[in-house]
């Protein structure tokens, strides 16, 4: 998947030669507070509804001089596009190729869908949360512990915590029953901060043992 694969076809664009009044109508119909402006297929910038409303003469063309020109290359990785959307607090992000050729826009909903695909959220399996110091973090070691119990790592996300100085690790495995993996983590002194698994995957006895283990790990 690339950034251009995240484009939302339902997002319209404005033409620089359009009258301001026409641009406002397009925004109103699309229910968008801002839209990209293009000229002869080239991206010119983002214009906001509030900016067009400030124009005194709405019969004049929208124009192509916009200081705000955020965009992402079509060949960029989806995470780059998602990061730009978050950093700039944008409702949408234009995608360009060959420097300025307009390809479409990425919406927040399409970005969220891309995150779901990248994180494989549709895959069934238990999710284990770990907390550790940077020196103890090893993808190879964690994978080995999971695979030694006949499971596979479906997804692994790691993020540093500025408050604790530790690394928070989110580990998804391909089994609903995480008990064997949790016991292995316990033996190797990993700190388990949480575990999420389907209630239907464990019986009453296993659930009681699971709760006892989680209580022990949280002590």
Nearest to 9 by CA among 111, 113, 115, 103: 103
Nearest to 118 by CA among 79, 171, 161, 75: 79
122 lies in some domain:
no
Per-residue pLDDT in tens (0 to 9) along the chain, 219 residues: 899 999 999 999 999 999 999 999 999 999 999 999 999 999 999 999 999 999 989 999 999 888 878 999 999 999 999 999 999 999 999 999 998 999 999 999 999 988 888 877 777 889 999 999 999 999 999 999 999 999 999 889 898 887 778 899 999 998 888 889 999 998 998 999 888 876 554 445 445 554 554 455 454
The pLDDT assigned to 119 comes to 78
The pLDDT assigned to 160 comes to 87
The pLDDT assigned to 198 comes to 66
User: Do 101 and 58 share a structural domain?
Assistant: yes
The pLDDT assigned to 209 comes to 53
Across 4-133, the runs of DSSP E, i.e. the strands, are: 14-15, 34-39, 42-48, 72-73, 92-97, 101-107, 127-132
Domain that holds residue 28: 3-116
User: Do 101 and 53 share a structural domain?
Assistant: yes
**pTM, rounded to two decimals:** 0.73
Paired with 194 in beta bridges are 129
Q: Which of 116, 141, 173 is the last residue of a domain?
A: 116
Residue 100 has which token pair? 């300025």
User: Taking the chain, what is the end-to-end CA distance rounded to the nearest angstrom?
Assistant: 42
The pLDDT assigned to 208 comes to 55
CB hemisphere CA count around 12 (13 angstroms): 14
How many separate domains does the chain show?
Answer: 2
214 lies in some domain:
yes
121 lies in some domain:
no
Across 71-208, the runs of DSSP E, i.e. the strands, are: 72-73, 92-97, 101-107, 127-132, 153-160, 167-173, 191-196
The pLDDT assigned to 202 comes to 46
146 lies in some domain:
yes
User: Do 100 and 15 share a structural domain?
Assistant: yes
What is the CA 118 to chain-centroid distance, rounded? 8
Residue 189 has which token pair? 């002194």
Residue 4 and residue 97 in contact, taking contact as beta carbons nearer than 8 Å: yes
CA 71, CA 46: separation in Å to the nearest integer? 9
């Amino acid at each position: 998947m690339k950034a251009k694969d995240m484009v939302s076809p339902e997002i319209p664009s404005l033409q620089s030669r359009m009258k301001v009044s026409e641009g406002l109508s397009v925004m109103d119909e699309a229910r968008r507070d801002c839209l990209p402006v293009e000229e002869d297929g080239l991206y010119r910038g983002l214009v906001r509804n509030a900016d067009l409303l400030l124009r005194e003469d709405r019969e004049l063309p929208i124009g192509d001089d916009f200081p705000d020109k955020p965009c992402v290359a079509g060949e960029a990785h989806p995470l780059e596009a998602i990061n730009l959307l978050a950093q700039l607090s944008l409702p949408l992000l234009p995608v360009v190729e060959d420097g300025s050729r307009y390809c479409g826009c990425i919406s927040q909903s399409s970005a969220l869908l891309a995150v779901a695909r990248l994180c494989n959220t549709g895959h069934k399996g238990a999710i284990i949360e770990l907390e550790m110091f940077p020196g103890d973090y090893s993808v190879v070691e964690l994978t080995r512990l999971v695979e030694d119990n006949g499971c596979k790592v479906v997804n692994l996300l790691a993020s540093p915590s500025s408050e604790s100085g530790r690394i928070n690790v989110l580990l998804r495995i391909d089994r609903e029953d995480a008990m064997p993996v949790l016991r292995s983590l316990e033996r190797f002194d990993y700190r388990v901060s949480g575990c999420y698994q389907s209630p239907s995957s464990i019986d009453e006895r296993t659930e009681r043992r699971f709760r006892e283990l989680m209580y022990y790990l949280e002590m």
